Homo-oligomer: A and B are copies of this chain.
Amino acid sequence: MPYTEIPGGVTAAQGFLAGSAYCGIKASNASRPDIALIHSPQETVVAATFTTNKVKAAPVRVSLAHLRTGDVRAIVANAGNANACTGLAGIETAKRMAEAAANALGLKARQVMVCSTGRIGVPLPIEKMEATIGTMPVVIDRDGSRRAAEAIMTSDTFAKEIAVEFQIDGKTVRLGGIAKGAGMIDPNMATMLSFLTTDAVIDKKQLQCALSVSVEQSFNRITIDGDMSTNDTVIMLANGTAGNKPLRHGTAAFKTFQRALDHVTKNLARMIVEDGEGVTKFVEVHVNGAATLSDARKAAEAVANSTLTKCAWFGGDPNWGRIMDALGYSGAKLREEVIDIFYDGIIAVQGGMPSKTPFAKLQEVVAQKRFTITIDLRLGKADYTVYTTDLSVDYVKLNMGE
């Protein structure tokens, strides 16, 4: 095993501190902490990926600017209010959040990344937040990962954290993180957020490369309702305290690092899907044999986002006809008469037509809480995987608002 799981989440790596505080941003009366702070007293390199939604929340715009300056020492994030669709005033507020954290920690504002998740189109109670953030240096510590993970929860039902430890050049390196879910609950628009830290020695360019690859294989592969939020953000900090030789792309050491990072991001992504609103089933959709990667992706995403297919899964109905239908309108290159579809490896469709597998066998697969749909287009060598869920009555109830 090239890595082992350890406790500690976003503070598992040496030198990182985290914690939370209650400010009262959420409309509900719950006195749950709603601001998280992560801090590195040491110099760091930073990498990040942000939502591709053209409507970008103010904190995303501010963090994008701060990403360029490097040596980020803190991440401040709030739940309960997304600071999205708030115009120039919202940008000003996001900057003030960063300044508040910078002032508290003795940093410059551009050394602070800022994130928000929650309700859209409502001004943040910034004065109250500045006061709360000002008190936070005394609550952050080396054991604060879980508290930070809890503070960024919106409709999440459990805090999401994981960390791993591995060896590079005989040095022990740690890498971990926290995340919150992509499910959205009205009138809030929640968001996928993930904060990752490592004590590996790695430069900014190499870290961004590793993170981008990892996000593409994990957070970008999950879909609950096909909607992308205005606030989605993944930030990773590396402080170099492990003392390994600088990681360089193409080396065995880099591969070890990448595998550990992928394990962390994939597991956080899986937790997000499993904690999706009203989710009763976790489904992996694999497309193999596509002519191009783009075809594989189109096919997998069409199946994973098909409302009808997801309703059928909720009901425990294999309904491969809806999968064939989704493939047909996906835009992927295909030949109906060569398509094979498998449910947990059991063939359901062979050459575009029903296989001889008894329907009851397929029903058994779809009755499970987790199963895999494998689609072989038999046209080429490209493949793509999407992690998705069913669409339940509770999903509609949770999302129908007041």
A230–B351 CA distance with the chains assembled, in angstroms: 16
Which chain A residues in 225-250 approach chain B with CB under 8 Å?
225-230
A87–B338 CA distance with the chains assembled, in angstroms: 10
A327–B320 CA distance with the chains assembled, in angstroms: 31
Given contacts A327-B55, A400-B312, contact A322 B227 (CB under 8 A): yes
Kindly list chain B residues whose C-beta atoms are within 8 Å of the C-beta of A326: 227
Q: Which of B228, B308, B337 contacts A328 (CB 8 A)?
A: B228
Given contacts A314-B400, A353-B121, A400-B311, contact A325 B229 (CB under 8 A): yes
Assess whether A86 is in contact with B353, with CB atoms less than 8 Å apart: yes
Which chain A residues in 346-402 approach chain B with CB under 8 Å?
349, 351-354, 391-393, 395-397, 399-402
Which chain A residues in 149-190 approach chain B with CB under 8 Å?
184, 186-187, 189
Say whether A216 faces chain B, with CB atoms less than 8 Å apart.
no
Given contacts A315-B401, A349-B85, contact A121 B55 (CB under 8 A): no
Assess whether A336 is in contact with B54, with CB atoms less than 8 Å apart: yes
- Looking at chain A's contact residues, the main secondary structure is loop
Assess whether B56 is in contact with A336, with CB atoms less than 8 Å apart: yes
A143–B334 CA distance with the chains assembled, in angstroms: 44
Assess whether A186 is in contact with B317, with CB atoms less than 8 Å apart: yes
Assess whether B328 is in contact with A55, with CB atoms less than 8 Å apart: yes
A228–B400 CA distance with the chains assembled, in angstroms: 25
Assess whether A321 is in contact with B391, with CB atoms less than 8 Å apart: no
Taking CB as reference atom, which chain B residue is nearest A86? B353
Given contacts A187-B321, A189-B321, A230-B324, contact A312 B399 (CB under 8 A): yes
Mark A132-148 against chain B: 1 for CB-CB distance below 8 A, else 0: 00000000000000000
Kindly list chain B residues whose C-beta atoms are within 8 Å of the C-beta of A349: 85, 121
Taking CB as reference atom, which chain B residue is nearest A119? B321
A315–B397 CA distance with the chains assembled, in angstroms: 8
Assess whether A321 is in contact with B396, with CB atoms less than 8 Å apart: no
Given contacts A319-B186, A319-B187, contact A329 B52 (CB under 8 A): yes
Assess whether A314 is in contact with B396, with CB atoms less than 8 Å apart: yes
Say whether A220 faces chain B, with CB atoms less than 8 Å apart.
no
Assess whether B322 is in contact with A189, with CB atoms less than 8 Å apart: yes
Chain B's nearest CB lies how many Å from the CB of A61? 10
A315–B328 CA distance with the chains assembled, in angstroms: 32
| Residue in A52, A56, A119, A329 with the greatest tally of chain B CB atoms within 10 Å | A329
| Residue in A120, A307, A312, A351 with the greatest tally of chain B CB atoms within 10 Å | A307
A221–B83 CA distance with the chains assembled, in angstroms: 34
Given contacts A329-B52, A351-B87, contact A320 B121 (CB under 8 A): yes
Assess whether A230 is in contact with B315, with CB atoms less than 8 Å apart: no
Chain B's nearest CB lies how many Å from the CB of A259? 31
Assess whether A325 is in contact with B230, with CB atoms less than 8 Å apart: yes
Given contacts A186-B315, A187-B319, A308-B227, contact A324 B399 (CB under 8 A): no
Kindly list chain B residues whose C-beta atoms are within 8 Å of the C-beta of A311: 186, 395-396, 399-401
Say whether A15 faces chain B, with CB atoms less than 8 Å apart.
no
Say whether A77 faces chain B, with CB atoms less than 8 Å apart.
no
A351–B120 CA distance with the chains assembled, in angstroms: 15
Assess whether A402 is in contact with B227, with CB atoms less than 8 Å apart: no
Mark A76-103 against chain B: 1 for CB-CB distance below 8 A, else 0: 0000001011110000000000000000
Can you list 16 A-B contacts with CB-CB less than 8 angstroms, sorted by A residue number?
A55-B327, A87-B353, A184-B322, A187-B319, A189-B322, A189-B325, A227-B329, A307-B307, A308-B399, A311-B396, A312-B399, A315-B401, A315-B402, A319-B401, A395-B396, A396-B396
Give me the interface of A with B, judged by CB distance under 8 Å.
52-56, 82, 84-87, 119-122, 184, 186-187, 189, 225-230, 306-308, 311-312, 314-317, 319-322, 324-329, 334, 336-337, 349, 351-354, 391-393, 395-397, 399-402
User: Closest 4 CB pairs between A and B?
Assistant: A317-B401, A315-B400, A55-B328, A120-B321
